[in-house]
Amino acid sequence: MVLTVLAIAVGAVVLWPSSDAPGSAAPNDPTPSSASVTPTTPTPGSADPAPDDASESGRTVRIVAAGDVACDPADPSLRGGRGTKAACAQHRTAALVRDLDPDAVFGLGDLQNDDGTLAKFREVYDDSWGSFKDITFPVIGNHEYWAGSPDGYFDYWKDRPSGRRGDGWYSVRLGEWEIYALNANCAYPFFRSPPCDEGSEQWRWLRNQLRSSEATCQLAMWHEPRISSGPHGPYGRLEPLWRLLVDARVELVLSAHDEMYERFAPIGRNARPDPEGVRQFVVGTGGDQLYTFRDRLPGSQVRADDSFGVLEMDLQPQGYSWRFRSLGSGGEDDSGSDVCAAP
């Protein structure tokens, strides 16, 4: 396997397979519900590494994460970018991100609705969260496929880590943390998205990355959650990838898709609570709209479906802390900390 290396603004090193490196469904959607490295010289199109290098050993890296961000340009709730209390809040969540001043932004998919064309990315997403494009690490969601192909997504993110065109998975090292960005669309039949089955290319890539990583702590991010108390519910197609993460003692999975906030206790195989499992966050509160929770699933510890917001995390050398910051409260709605699993 050939790995392409890209040095980017926060000083991380990005890896994805192949030689051709890159140059949420709503409840009524017609979709199934279902390391520390000193950077090399930047490649063309990438920014110079920041002096305070986020890949520097021992440094705490502050990230902000959310998905389901920008609503469709034709959405009547857009109202010239002002949005409403219940929809099209991407400018307000962008202001929150700006105030938090993170080292990196994790975009958890469905970054531009409804179908993620390049024109829509430029019109709505770029006008709000595009302010953080130079520090954003995106993952691909299901709405990025709705135009018939995910070309708009890959074209918009062509100068950022986004994985091989059509695949979308890659890894990046930030401080003592290895970050795995994955494609959780898992062979939707009408999306032509890559599978997640055991033995698939993405499964083999993730297995090899986990085996070779020397990072103290590990985090995976994708769009669809493995388990959720929202309208989409658990997503069983992710189980083969989830088992790799559990077996490798990965600390965290960040996801979106259900447009609400939910934090789970560590979850093991078959989406059951397990103290040696992976802690999952669902952060579909980036601005598009909000859903309503259904029945609480085992392991769900905190749920909020009444406000947009972002997850702020400090990725420390041997642990992490989190704070969910909503527009409604103006403060911390959920917070905590934990240590990384022993290698």
Task: Note the pLDDT tens digit of each residue in 263-291.
Answer: 999 999 989 999 999 999 999 999 999 99
Could you tell me the pLDDT band of residue 80, with boundaries at 50, 70 and 90? confident
Tell me if 209 is assigned to some domain. Answer: yes
Tell me what pLDDT residue 8 has: 39
Q: For residue 247, give the CATH number of its domain.
A: 3.60.21.10
Q: Give the residue-averaged pLDDT of 301-314.
A: 95
Q: Is the peptide bond before 114 cis (omega within 30 degrees of 0)?
A: yes
Q: Give the residue-averaged pLDDT of 295-307.
A: 94
pLDDT score of 102 more than 50: yes
Q: Give the residue-averaged pLDDT of 37-43.
A: 27
Q: What is the pLDDT of residues 178-214, one digit of tens each?
A: 999 999 999 877 678 999 999 999 999 999 999 999 9
pTM: 0.85
For helices 239-247 and 201-212, what crossing angle results, to 10°?
Answer: 10
Tell me what pLDDT residue 11 has: 46
Total count of domains within the chain: 1
Q: Give the residue-averaged pLDDT of 325-333.
A: 76
Tell me what pLDDT residue 146 has: 87
Tell me if 322 is assigned to some domain. Answer: yes
Tell me if 35 is assigned to some domain. Answer: no
Tell me if 324 is assigned to some domain. Answer: yes
- Show the domain range for 198: 60-339
Tell me if 291 is assigned to some domain. Answer: yes
Q: What is the pLDDT of residues 232-265, one digit of tens each?
A: 989 999 999 999 999 999 999 999 999 999 999 9
Tell me if 23 is assigned to some domain. Answer: no
Tell me if 17 is assigned to some domain. Answer: no
* Residue of higher predicted confidence among 203 and 54: 203
Tell me if 6 is assigned to some domain. Answer: no
Tell me what pLDDT residue 213 has: 95
Tell me what pLDDT residue 38 has: 26
* Residue of higher predicted confidence among 146 and 1: 146
